[in-house]
Structure formats: structure tokens, C-alpha cells
Structure 1
């Protein structure tokens, strides 16, 4: 069996999460986060569209983690993101983190917005 070390681009992988926090690229972030090639920052949640829309030219898909369980995002949010040309995939935050890490290791143009579990 051949093993290859995973090398990430400028974006950092999600290394862990727990009640109210995420560990991304060796740093702990409390509350909702936005991660991608521009780094990881705090995110204001579903009402904070501006930083997500600013990613339109940089990404093909945005993974949105809705906490411990999958939930619907506001219809206005989905419409605004899709009108900006951003593909949206909504799932629980643990699933979003795993999916983000896999596609990040493949060098895909993605970002991740997550609500803590």
C-alpha cells in the first residue's frame, strides 16, 4: 500500500471541533467561522452575507455547516449566493468539515462557513 502525505494549499484544514469551537490550521476559533484560501475568520452567521458574496470570484462551491444537524438556510441567503454564481451545499457542520478537508486536499476552489455544534 502506498501512502501519500496530504498537502494543502494556502487554506488550512479543519482539525477538530467541539461545543462552540473549531480548530483550523492549529488555531482555535470560537463561534461561527468562515474558512478558505483567504484564511479563517469569525463569521456572523446566516445574516452575514457580505463576506460570503465577496468569495464569488474565488470559489466554485461554498459548504455551509448548520451545526450538529442539517437544517435549511434562509431562502434569501441561498438565492443571493446562487445569483452570485456560488454553488451552495448545506449539511451538518461535522459533515461539512470532512467534505471541505477532502476537496481542499484535491486543490478545489472551495470555502466553508460553519455554525458550531
Structure 2
């Protein structure tokens, strides 16, 4: 895993199990910390909800992996533009795929932030 990136052990039933601990609702992982994330549906995703990602900066995060819920959806232009302006890459997909990809990428040592809307 990259640094001490916490693994996603399971997802579903409205939450996640990360490093053995259950998180109800959506999840944001930046560096070695997992946080409850107030975004409950893709319409709630905005630039402000990603403040912790932007605060971490490029030294800690090279790109943002977004899990958009049960199906894939394009984030708003505002979110895409803010991620680009911060100098970060952006990948988005449905949450189950993003949770699996997060584990693969962190095992390869990639520096990423992961924001997942619960399914």
C-alpha cells in the first residue's frame, strides 16, 4: 500500500469497512486517513465537498478517484475544472469499481485521494 493507505475491505449496505472499521455512509480517503464524507448522492458532490483533497495538494495526491454511486456519472464541470486547476488527475466510475481500483492502485504505491458515494 502507498504509505499507510488504509485498505477498503468491503463496501455495500450503505457504507464501507476500511482497515477493519465500519464507516456508515459515503467515504473520503486522503493519505492515510479515512473520513465520513457528507456527500450522499452524486447531486451533492461539489467543490467544497472536496476541500480536504485540495488541501492535501500535489505533494500528497497525484489524482482523485471518484466513486459516483451505483452507476457511473460525469461529475459537474465545476468539479472537473477545480480538480484540473489544482493540478490533479481525475478518474470517475461507479463506486464498486472505484473501491476495487483504489486497493490495486495503493498497493502499487500510487498517491491518490478516493471519494466514494455509498451504495
Scaled by the length of structure 2, the TM-score of the pair is 0.86
Match of 1:29 among 23, 39, 58: 23
Alignment of 1:1-117 (within 5 A): 9-45=3-39, 46-47=45-46, 48-57=49-58, 58-117=60-119
Aligned residues, how many?
Answer: 111
5+ long unaligned stretches in structure 1: 1-6
The structure with the greater share of residues assigned to helix is 2
Scaled by the length of structure 1, the TM-score of the pair is 0.87
Answer with 29-38 or 76-85: which moved more: 29-38
Q: Which runs of 4+ in 1 moved over 4 A?
A: none
Structure number, greater radius of gyration = 1
RMSD of aligned residue pairs (Cα, Å) = 1.4
